Structure 1
Amino acid sequence: MKLSQIGIFLCLLFTKPAIAGTSNLPVKDEPYVVPVSVKYTLSPKWKDVRFKKIVADGDNSLFILTDAGLFRDFPGEIISKDLRYASLADKSPVDISIQEGTGYLYYLYPDRFLTNKHAGTICGYLPENRFTHMAVNANDDVLLTGEEGAVLYNRSTKVRKLNIPPGEFVRLYVSDHRFWYLSSTGIYWLNGDKWTNVYSGNNLTAIAFFSDKIAVGTTDGYCVIDRSGNTVEPKNNKLPVPAITHMLVVRGTCWFATDEGAFVKQPERFDYYASKRWLDQDKIVDMAADTDGNLYFLTPTGLNKVEFIRETLAGKAEFLQDNLRKYHLRYGFSSASRLTDPGDPTTMRLDDSDNDGLWTSFYLGSQAFRYAVTKEEKSREYVWESFEPYERLLSIHPVTGFSGRTFERTGYIAGDTIPWRPAPDQDWWWKGTTSTDEFVGYMFVTSVIDRFVAQTPEEKRRVADYFDAIMTHIITNDYYFIDYDGKPTLWGRWNPEYVNSFATTQFDRRLNSTLTIAGLQLAYRLTQKEIYKTEAFRMMQEHGYLDNMKIPMNNIRFTFGFQHQGITMGEDWNHSDDEMAFLTYWVLYNYAFNDTLKQEYAEMIRDHWKIEKPERNALWNLLAYGTSGDIDLESTIWYLRGFPKDCNRYPVRNSHRKDLEFLPKDPHTNFREQTTTELIPKIERPMNRHNNNEFLIDGGSGAHYRLTGDEFLLPYWMARYLNVIQ
């Protein structure tokens, strides 16, 4: 990316796109700029080296000052010692510098300075070990400083000895042909042979130059002055991390480095780069930028690049889909992965999950919508491939119509073993205790296959028989999932006695009623069995399920004193309920018995969508748009563009940030646990599935855990199907 494209990146990725209302539909899938992380590899023989300083020359070559000599970049994002010049290979520079204007690399050794440009003719011999820092301006002036003083070299004039300004030395800078000296208490520029003070302060740590201004960093924020020292912008310490160590201006955009990551100033906010997603460690010792506008962050142990690339949503979808199919399919289930050795990507394992059926519904659903859009036979093939494990969940055990959570070969179970039972086939085990989450997955995949994929009478019957078996089990067993032990599972419960035991202030009452009616409607449409229609209206009329479904979301609040089998409920918000509700809304609305119900459903969906808007979830927006007709278009595009292709679940932390406005943690006034007034971008938050609170700002399962990417694929292909993007 060119320097001028930084502005495009700022506008398109992290700020709200200039899109409002459905009159702008469809949104054209124009290329946009996104940051991606590139971590350089250090040869194992240099594993103990410590990095000190980085520069990028005019050819975008990277040079790193270390305690073991000069290192540089090599093809393949590799860092190793620079051995190109035999005469310098065994020497260790004291400092390195890039000449202003030319981008030429200069070296400072204990007894000389030199450059290999100009045919190697520039070389100045020095009293040994006197100078430790160097800067070179566009006039070929070379400034050297040390504890005992400074000297100025020039090709056409004699050496001039200089004093050094007072205060603890911080760094030398060059700007507009001038040399600048930063101490902990002042900023000075070299005027002839004298240092002129332009600014005095305390705990100064860094400066960065705009065209006519200087940003001044401290241990507690920064301010902006003009070149005469007058304050242009007062000190701002509402930053992600106020203790600044380095600053850099890239085409008018100011970047900051700290001991807790880096951040960049934008018109409305600061974007924060920290955690293993971006850095091998958060302590940054130096940073540099190349001529394409990419940033390089040097830590004591590694080099990390933030590269700005142009991509499209279609390109991201293709990448994530290919990655999922290569690395995340387990018997047809879409499975998150873990590394048995966290540092080795070749040790990837796919483990069983309690919610294999639910998580796979996102992938299968994405391929169903993809087929609806493209008619590509491969996507249809992928749907049937992942439908097979759903069918096997019904047949792998002897409990008629009961769907297990998951299955695995004997002896290879990764999770807890208590709910597992051997299958009649001795090579396999299956897991029971199936919940409402799984039931929602069964409903959703059934509906999208029926609507978009099943074409022949045989295919239609295959899907109908699958869901008919599940719903027959539920009705026959008084609206419970009955497990292998003959008892209802903990959460597979839709019986009126259970559902109506919840207060009207608890979402479970509304949710379980909605799941029940949606399932009965779907089963009726697929089979035309009158029992499903009769039961649905009986539940709505005799047991109040329709009224339950229409309980206003504003009525849901902290409810004390309710327990289910020893589990306290109603005192916090479970964001899995949002996930279950919105997936179910698609089925509920599109399989409604009549238009009157459909209109009532649209109103209840709209009511829930309004509560969800602050979380800016693209999938909830699109599921609402495909039913009630409501959408926050800006947030939908913002989510899709900001979703990272790197799906590792890095641990991240944002609760220390001073630039965020936090809300009180009060279950009565902030029941849905919104931590900040504004949602920060997804690449700054923990990488979670849709069942987590989007306002979680700390957390993460670890870099050795990786999601599948279908968290993006389903909303992307829904957006294509609904003509939100093209």
Structure 2
Amino acid sequence: MKKITFIAISFLVLVACRPTGKGGSEMPVKDEPYLTSVPVKFSISPKWTGTGLKRVVVNGDNSLFVLTDKGVFRDFPGEVISKDLMYSSLADKIPVDITVQEETGYLYYLYGDRYLTNMHAGKICGKFPENLYSRFAVNRIGEVLLLGDGACALYRGSDKLTEIELPDDSFIDLLVGEGRFYLLSPTTVYRLDDHQWNPVHRGEGITAMAVAGERIIVGTTDGFYEIDDKGMVVLQRNNRLPVPEINKVISDSGRHWFATHGGAYYKEGETIRYFSAERWLDQDSVIDMALDRSGNAYLLTPTGVNKILFKRETLAEKADFLQEKLRKYHLRFGFSAEARLLDPEDPTTIRLEDSDNDGLWTSFYLGSQAFRYAVTKEESARQYVWESFEPYERLLVIHPITGFSGRTFERTGYIAGDTVPWRPAIDPDWWWKGTTSTDEFVGYIFVASVIDQFVAETPEEKRRVADYIDAIMTHIISNDYYFLDYDGKPTLWGRWNPDYVNSFAETQFDRRLNSTLTIAGLQLAYKLTRKEIYKREAFRMMEEHGYLENMKIPMKNIRFTPGFQHQGITMGQDWNHSDDEMAFLTYWVLYHYAFDDTLREEYAEMINDHWEIEKPERNALWNLLTYGTSGEIDLESVIWYLREFPADTRRYKVRNSHRRDLDFLPKDSVENFREQSTRKLLPKSERPMNRHNANEFQLDSDRASNRILAGDEYLLPYWMARYLGVVE
């Protein structure tokens, strides 16, 4: 009865805190469909390997066509590009150019001696002497403008209207907009008026243009600017762009797209979204672009077609997708595991291996299912919790060390990575991994707490969780607040002894963090077992060894602190974002299992103190763990994070440090101890895909793109948001 009363009181405290947070009056946020971008990479049919890609267009039916050195290719089911054989009379012919008519989207072909379309019953076919023209465009009324080396002519239907004198021979592009034809040279924008090319605007380094209503977007070697139909500059040059050297511009409904040799991006108002290799593109050099009727973009590189698909989804739909993917491809003995592709080009070569912190990472998945069960009462969620709790329990008994939990286990002969920490298990068919650290300990107390709060319903289930924590905490207390490994010595990081904890300066977070972990574990053990030793030890550590004061060290005091080493490892000279992760997961346990309301209030203040310095990182999980304890929240950032989190959790190579649109902060400075690289945080889909222990401001990642995260990085904050009433 005491446990039930405690949980009920904790829940009432939690509910009472909700309205105090930023944006609290706006909650809950209804989970309505929102627009998100998804990469779709088309593959070239194997029979056409080595085909050279030149130009991409999309017709009025949203069919994709690519001009190649082997003819016209088109899209087929399964995101495959192959040669278009549908019209036998054209299948063996290689056009000089292809285009689509303005507004109708009808596809036109330009050959050496004619142009034609299969629309209008195939009646349109304009003929001319061989090899005069290399480019053409078709306006809304069916006028066809042909352009070649020193030659230019205007047709309508199949009939020639007139030849047109070219102003110079340095043209770089021909296009149509608002029914009018435009010709582009590196210094001039020309418009065809009354069958004559008239200069509308002169500039330098012009590379591309697009018509956007009454304005013309002019791309250059150093950004873009806008002119009106008279050629007057109405928007000054903007070169604060991801890559300012522009290859091509297209515009639709106020969204301007720019192709560069460093990827592509669109600008819509003040928003810039950047698409680059490897998440979005097969390579960075974008040579052509097209938009379909739905606003989806097709970005052509020399080696592939890459679609940026805009679709509507809900947060719940993404959760369902990631949940199913995790269950299919990321469960290893009940652990939630990062997957490795043996061949990065072949998604069927997926393999699961230990990641050195299985106990910590699995706590995110198990936690998500505990909160899911609290919200939905779905039996599958409850089943998944107990499935993933089994490996935690096995880590205690797979070896002969009483109360010590290993990192992970594997069948004999199949261990991977660092072999030093591995030892034979009691069962000769298995090996287990030692050197367990504070990371795993955080996972242990977090999963035990959420199972106790939300999943364990019978006395037997409550006892099962209590026995698990009791064994671990007994080991720690009995061994002078150390994890003792197979060699009888403390592990590198499994240390909570006062001599170790208080050896750190008050300017080092390790002092605050390890004190917090110790008290949270002791409180949890007391609440689950009611053994007085845990309560007595907690107050001894707080009162005699200063752990409570350590926990309340203001985060603003944590700073660059040279001169500290632990077993040869330099500490205090940079910020370890794993410490943030460990702290916030522990805060849930610390707050909800506090001995009394006075301590709970003190904990709330220290949690808020930490949350305040974390706010620039906009991490949904830290926000929600803070809201579920102290009651503060940055609601906008929570929703932004959840919506921006990619459904594709592969760890692609990413590069952003070259971008000219970002406001960079000084690197490696004492003032920038937390390594905030830019003034404003980039969307999750443009940054490296990382777990919650990474710096959200990390701009680049050179890791090989053969790793896939499990997706519980999203599932835990999503289901916490549902449980806490943040998302409806």
TM-score range, shorter chain: over 0.9
Letter in 2 for 1:105: L
Partner in structure 2 of residue 385 of structure 1? 387
Native 8 Å contact 1:573 1:672 kept in 2: yes
Partner in structure 2 of residue 405 of structure 1? 407
Partner in structure 2 of residue 3 of structure 1? none
Partner in structure 1 of residue 507 of structure 2? 505
- Shift of the 714–229 alpha-carbon distance from structure 1 to 2, 3 Å rule, reads same
Q: Deviations over 1:407-458 (max 9, x none)?
A: 0011111111011001111111000000000000000000000111001111
Matched, 1:65 2:92: no
Alpha-carbon separation, structure 1, partners of 2:430 and 2:165: 81
Native 8 Å contact 1:572 1:667 kept in 2: no
Alignment equivalent of 2:225, drawn from 217, 223, 226: 223
Alpha-carbon separation, structure 1, partners of 2:103 and 2:333: 59
Matched, 1:580 2:582: yes
Native 8 Å contact 1:260 1:274 kept in 2: yes
Partner in structure 2 of residue 38 of structure 1? 40
Alpha-carbon separation, structure 1, partners of 2:157 and 2:431: 80
SS in structure 2 at match of 1:344 = coil
Alpha-carbon separation, structure 2, partners of 1:140 and 1:217: 27
SS in structure 2 at match of 1:473 = helix
Alpha-carbon separation, structure 2, partners of 1:494 and 1:263: 49
Alignment equivalent of 1:329, drawn from 331, 337, 343: 331
Native 8 Å contact 2:178 2:211 kept in 1: no
Native 8 Å contact 1:336 1:707 kept in 2: yes
Paired residues for 1:423-502 under 5 Å: 423-502=425-504
How many Å apart are 1:292 and its aligned residue? 0.9
Native 8 Å contact 2:359 2:444 kept in 1: yes
How many Å apart are 1:137 and its aligned residue? 1.0
CA RMSD of aligned residues (A): 1.0
Q: TM-score, normalised by structure 2?
A: 0.96
Partner in structure 1 of residue 351 of structure 2? 349
Alignment equivalent of 1:362, drawn from 344, 361, 364: 364
Alpha-carbon separation, structure 2, partners of 1:123 and 1:687: 52
Letter in 2 for 1:310: R
How many Å apart are 1:400 and its aligned residue? 0.5
Native 8 Å contact 2:177 2:210 kept in 1: no
Partner in structure 2 of residue 4 of structure 1? none
Alpha-carbon separation, structure 2, partners of 1:65 and 1:668: 54
Alpha-carbon separation, structure 1, partners of 2:245 and 2:146: 28
Matched, 1:290 2:288: no
Deviates more, 1:181-190 or 1:551-560: 181-190
Native 8 Å contact 2:206 2:221 kept in 1: yes
Alpha-carbon separation, structure 1, partners of 2:636 and 2:334: 34
Partner in structure 2 of residue 315 of structure 1? 317
How many Å apart are 1:194 and its aligned residue? 1.2
How many Å apart are 1:20 and its aligned residue? 5.8
Alignment equivalent of 2:125, drawn from 123, 126, 147: 123
Deviates more, 1:471-480 or 1:60-69: 60-69
Alpha-carbon separation, structure 2, partners of 1:62 and 1:357: 47
Alpha-carbon separation, structure 1, partners of 2:609 and 2:630: 10
Alpha-carbon separation, structure 2, partners of 1:323 and 1:140: 49
* Identity fraction in percent: 69
Partner in structure 2 of residue 13 of structure 1? none
SS in structure 2 at match of 1:635 = helix
Q: Deviations over 1:49-76 (max 9, x none)?
A: 1111011111111111011111111122
Letter in 1 for 2:215: K
How many Å apart are 1:703 and its aligned residue? 2.5
Letter in 2 for 1:242: P
Partner in structure 2 of residue 259 of structure 1? 261
Partner in structure 1 of residue 703 of structure 2? 701
Alignment equivalent of 2:610, drawn from 568, 588, 608: 608
How many Å apart are 1:659 and its aligned residue? 0.3
Matched, 1:277 2:279: yes
Partner in structure 1 of residue 596 of structure 2? 594
Alpha-carbon separation, structure 2, partners of 1:660 and 1:432: 43
Native 8 Å contact 2:473 2:522 kept in 1: yes
Native 8 Å contact 1:68 1:92 kept in 2: yes
Deviates more, 1:20-29 or 1:459-468: 20-29
Letter in 1 for 2:523: Q
Alpha-carbon separation, structure 2, partners of 1:584 and 1:681: 27
> Please, which runs of 5 or more residues in structure 2 have no aligned partner?
1-20
4+ runs deviating over 6 angstroms: none
- Shift of the 227–551 alpha-carbon distance from structure 1 to 2, 3 Å rule, reads same
- Number of matched pairs: 708
How many Å apart are 1:268 and its aligned residue? 2.6
Alpha-carbon separation, structure 2, partners of 1:155 and 1:54: 23
How many Å apart are 1:700 and its aligned residue? 5.3
Letter in 2 for 1:139: I
Alpha-carbon separation, structure 2, partners of 1:606 and 1:237: 40
SS in structure 2 at match of 1:70 = strand
Alpha-carbon separation, structure 2, partners of 1:84 and 1:222: 40
SS in structure 2 at match of 1:303 = strand
Partner in structure 2 of residue 9 of structure 1? none
- Shift of the 129–20 alpha-carbon distance from structure 1 to 2, 3 Å rule, reads farther
Alpha-carbon separation, structure 1, partners of 2:529 and 2:77: 61
Paired residues for 1:624-643 under 5 Å: 624-643=626-645
SS in structure 2 at match of 1:352 = coil
How many Å apart are 1:266 and its aligned residue? 2.6
How many Å apart are 1:379 and its aligned residue? 0.3
How many Å apart are 1:101 and its aligned residue? 2.2
Letter in 2 for 1:370: R
Alpha-carbon separation, structure 1, partners of 2:524 and 2:127: 86
Alpha-carbon separation, structure 1, partners of 2:89 and 2:167: 35
Alpha-carbon separation, structure 2, partners of 1:61 and 1:538: 72
SS in structure 1 at match of 2:428 = coil
Native 8 Å contact 1:649 1:700 kept in 2: no
Letter in 2 for 1:406: T
Native 8 Å contact 2:501 2:514 kept in 1: yes
Partner in structure 2 of residue 567 of structure 1? 569
Alpha-carbon separation, structure 1, partners of 2:294 and 2:196: 36
Partner in structure 1 of residue 690 of structure 2? 688
Q: Deviations over 1:695-723 (max 9, x none)?
A: 00111533321000000000000000000
Partner in structure 2 of residue 673 of structure 1? 675
Alpha-carbon separation, structure 1, partners of 2:605 and 2:168: 71
